[in-house]
Structure 1
Amino acid sequence: MHTILAKGLQQRRVAASAMNIRSSRSHLIFTIRVSTTNLSTKETLSGKILLCDLGGSERLKKTEATGEQRREAIEINKSLTALCDVIEAVARRQRQVPYRNHKLTQIMQDSLGGSAKTLMFVNCSPAWSNLSETLMSLNWAARTKRITNLGTPSSSSPLSRKRSEPCLGLLLPPEQ
């Protein structure tokens, strides 16, 4: 599993910008599926761990990005906007949640509502020059905190069991 994660990290796009010397230009999603079967009852309990390292939201003007880096920044910002829309809809308990608006929100759907337990780390810059980005990140975290999930394992009968394997997905901006 460690080898698969290392391979995904090697493929991750990273580039220098005016704001960050090692700015990630993509999101890294690592999914681990786990299941166990009770030998007495034959009941299977399954779970999923979704590790997401999201590319940072950066203001285009401050990054001074051009060309491919500008396009990547726009795609990252689009995906994070879609994620914010989903977080807001789930937090407000709206009937319609726009999970389908982006591949990122489709992948993270199980973690953003229902029975998943979710833990979020938000990185903030201590620099005054990044105050607006830090405030944006903290506001995003505050919105996310309003989501209430009750973590419960999934169970199934032996007939409906699925094979569990680790899988790695690297979300990159679409190729042109």
Structure 2
Amino acid sequence: MAWTDERVELLKKLWSEGLSASQIAGRLGGVTRNAVIGKVHRLGLSGRATSSRSSVPRPRRTQAPRQNRAPSITFGTRGNVALKPTYEEEYEAAPAPAPVEELVIPLHERATILTLKESMCKWPIGDPTEEGFHFCGRKKTGLSPYCEHHARMAFQPVQSRRREKRSATG
């Protein structure tokens, strides 16, 4: 939409009254907030009347005294929750999973990356940079890429405490 003389005068008037670019764009119609900002910049308009809401300070929220609030189990975080600190209590409450011993795979059942097939367990054993590295190679179960033994190692149940916390927040 073209900037007519009438629209430019209305823009100047609304700008001097302290309206925001979004409000001016809404009143003019057919232009975006960015178009209003660009026109104001090209016209060299500066000094604006301050709006009434900016001259009055916002009232601060008061928090309840500490004794009335429930104690927090974990720290509140902003941003990446992977960095969220947790208390050791959370981990002590859940029983540690029983360690699963590694299977001894006979040489004829071991698979390399070249001999690995779709129906074989793809659990890596050893260090890939060393010569003895191999895959389990036993028959896999269902849709899992692993045999029954390695599927139990890979897919452990969620600890009860974490499960309870999720159900309370969800």
Q: Using CA pairs under 8 Å that are at least 6 residues apart, name the structure with larger relative contact order, 1 or 2.
A: 1
- Shorter-chain TM-score bucket reads under 0.3
**What TM-score do you get using the length of structure 1 for normalisation?**
0.17
**What TM-score do you get using the length of structure 2 for normalisation?**
0.18
**Bigger Rg, structure 1 or 2:** 2
Q: Please state which structure has a larger fraction of its residues in strand.
A: 1
